Structure 1
Amino acid sequence: MKILYTNFHTSPGIGGHTSYISRLITGLNPDHDIAVAVPAQSALYRIANATEGVRTYAQEYPSKLQQLPAAAAHLRDILRKGHFDVVHVNGTADHRLVMLAMLGLRRKPAIIFTKHNDHATNSIGSHLRARFGTDHCIAVCDFVADRLAGGPYNRSGVTTIHNGIDTDYFSILNSGDVRTLRQAILGPMSDSRILLGSNAGTTEYKGWIDMVRALSQLDPRQIDRLHIAVAGPRPPQDLLDEVQQLNMNRHISFVGDLEDVRQFIGAIDVGFVLSYRVETISFACQK
């Protein structure tokens, strides 16, 4: 089977969509002809491009109306030349562009849509995509399946395929030299403080600032026994300003985007995920 995976994310950091699609590519690549059409600057493009046997296309998924025709024409050319059996879309932006790109195609592949988030599906756009651009829908957990029940995607059918994590791969036994990372975060006190860590990301809705706020309410002697480490890109400036206002700068470390989170997971004593919207089944939480 010839499968094309699409995704609109542009970040060079590895997020949930990247983890999801990259694992599908790895699992299906030995038995199927796999291609990926994603933004060239994205982590998924980099990973797919390094995977032997996977064809990788640089494809943008713009939101501005005036940019859609050129992007759709580029994707249509990929579809026409690729002769794909299935296009697997993973978000509104790529789903919409795939629909536009298929206009005028004689041979149209099936469109499979995976819903990862908790966004409502009662918009006009959702009804159009469900009616004209979805042959089947995948829910990543029972919660998402319940959100889809009775909505426009019912006509295409919904299958729940639960997100999963290779717990052996992410175990402490595969973490490597975690002592060096603890010392880099905590300094010489690395063995005496409790390290609270989150690799869920640094955007506002990830909720890591709530952990900072909670610790700031503790007695100073208790705070000194704890430290927070957060993996992800540079946080929004307003949250960094709040950390400073709470006088918590010396109690938190931002370790940046991580290509491999195993050492980080091995280094922390307690993991936390405090996301309060969008998330449905967090990879960070499962790890």
Structure 2
Amino acid sequence: LSKRGVNGLTEEVTAVFEKFIDETKPDCVHVHNMHYFSKIHALVIRGIATKKGIPLILTAHNVWDDNLFLDLTKKVKWDHIIAVSHFIKREIIGAGYSHKGITVIHHGVDQDSYFSKASTRPVFKKYPVLRGRKIIFHPARMGLAKGCDVSIKALRIVKERFPRAILVLAGTRNIIDWGQTQQRDIAYMVSLIKSLELKDNVLIDAFPLKDMPHLYAASKVCIYPSTSSEPFGLTMLEALSSARPMVVTETGGMPEIIKDG
């Protein structure tokens, strides 16, 4: 791949897609985020869908500010676009796409997994340090874009009134580190915690998905002070479904779900 590049894969991509379409005979083709990453894949599936008379639907989970995003959003003829938030819809319209071809469908969560009476026992058993503490839960990957440093700085203020409050920064190892900044961001935040003398008030770990409902249940409040334009933010719904208050920054699609007051 490194020698041929993505452009050299057109024939292989076409063969794989055509074989799949011929075998499954779909009523429509629904792709996710194919307005980015690989121009070849988007153009190939557009060509196949047109040839076979199959509607091509795109769900856009993100937007970017570079030429690849603008090129694929405007030049690939999507029969319809589903945006995960009104923020995403506005951004796509700003890229030159007609508002008539976009429908907003917000994400949802499984309320059988995230509910107010989820057990807290697994969390306190695994992390005894959390027992009897006021837990502030920041459910996001560790990174400056997710506002983890904002949470840490805010904790210093909270600690003045609630000395035993503890901030849980819940990251995950299952991420794609596009800018190769993850380890640098973590190192900065560890240094920040030390300089603000908060090492006894912060717990950092990578939690498996199955532990998340228990963490929400154990928390007093959840926060997501993202400093980037968050497209939507599933953690908001997870917190609300768990009957926990959620504090967010007024950016991206988050104000569509969380209202002040």
TM-score, normalised via structure 2 length: 0.70
Secondary structure of the corresponding residue to residue 137 of structure 1: strand
Q: State the Cα distance separating 1:273 from its structure 2 match.
A: 1.1
- Flag the 1:128–1:201 CA change in 2: closer, same or farther, 3 A: closer
Q: State the Cα distance separating 1:126 from its structure 2 match.
A: 1.5
From 115, 118, 140, the equivalent of 1:171 is: 115
If asked which structure has higher relative contact order (CA below 8 Å, sep 6+), I would say: 2
Number of the residue aligned with 1:75 = 13
Secondary structure of the corresponding residue to residue 250 of structure 1: helix
Number of the residue aligned with 1:55 = none
Q: How does 1:69-218 map to 2 (within 5 A)?
A: 69-83=7-21, 85-94=28-37, 96-102=39-45, 105=48, 107=52, 110-117=55-62, 119-120=64-65, 123=67, 125-149=69-93, 151-154=95-98, 157-173=101-117, 175-176=118-119, 178-187=120-129, 190-191=131-132, 193-217=133-157
Secondary structure of the corresponding residue to residue 121 of structure 2: helix
From 166, 170, 174, the equivalent of 1:231 is: 170
Secondary structure of the corresponding residue to residue 59 of structure 2: strand
Number of the residue aligned with 1:277 = 228
Unaligned runs of 5+ in 1: 1-61
- Flag the 1:186–1:73 CA change in 2: closer, same or farther, 3 A: farther
Q: Deviations over 1:160-179 (max 9, x none)?
A: 11212233431033x23x13
Q: Aligned partners of 1:128, 1:92: CA distance in 2, in Å?
A: 5
Secondary structure of the corresponding residue to residue 238 of structure 1: helix
Q: State the Cα distance separating 1:73 from its structure 2 match.
A: 4.2
Q: State the Cα distance separating 1:151 from its structure 2 match.
A: 3.9
Q: Aligned partners of 2:9, 2:198: CA distance in 1, in Å?
A: 45
- The letter of the residue matching 1:116 is H
Number of the residue aligned with 2:257 = none
Secondary structure of the corresponding residue to residue 148 of structure 1: helix
Q: Aligned partners of 1:271, 1:103: CA distance in 2, in Å?
A: 42
Secondary structure of the corresponding residue to residue 149 of structure 1: helix
Q: Aligned partners of 2:156, 2:149: CA distance in 1, in Å?
A: 11
Number of the residue aligned with 1:256 = 206
Q: Deviations over 1:181-217 (max 9, x none)?
A: 1353343x612x2001021221221112212112224
C-alpha contact 1:90 1:113 (8 A) present in aligned 2: yes
C-alpha contact 1:99 1:133 (8 A) present in aligned 2: no
Q: Aligned partners of 1:65, 1:130: CA distance in 2, in Å?
A: 29
Q: State the Cα distance separating 1:86 from its structure 2 match.
A: 0.6
Q: Aligned partners of 1:150, 1:167: CA distance in 2, in Å?
A: 34
Matched residue pairs, number?
219
Q: How does 1:5-24 map to 2 (within 5 A)?
A: none
Q: Deviations over 1:79-104 (max 9, x none)?
A: 01111541413154445232243487
Q: Percent identity?
A: 19
- Flag the 1:185–1:210 CA change in 2: closer, same or farther, 3 A: farther
Q: Aligned partners of 2:192, 2:41: CA distance in 1, in Å?
A: 41
Secondary structure of the corresponding residue to residue 172 of structure 1: coil
- Flag the 1:117–1:99 CA change in 2: closer, same or farther, 3 A: closer
Q: Aligned partners of 1:72, 1:268: CA distance in 2, in Å?
A: 50
C-alpha contact 2:85 2:106 (8 A) present in aligned 1: yes
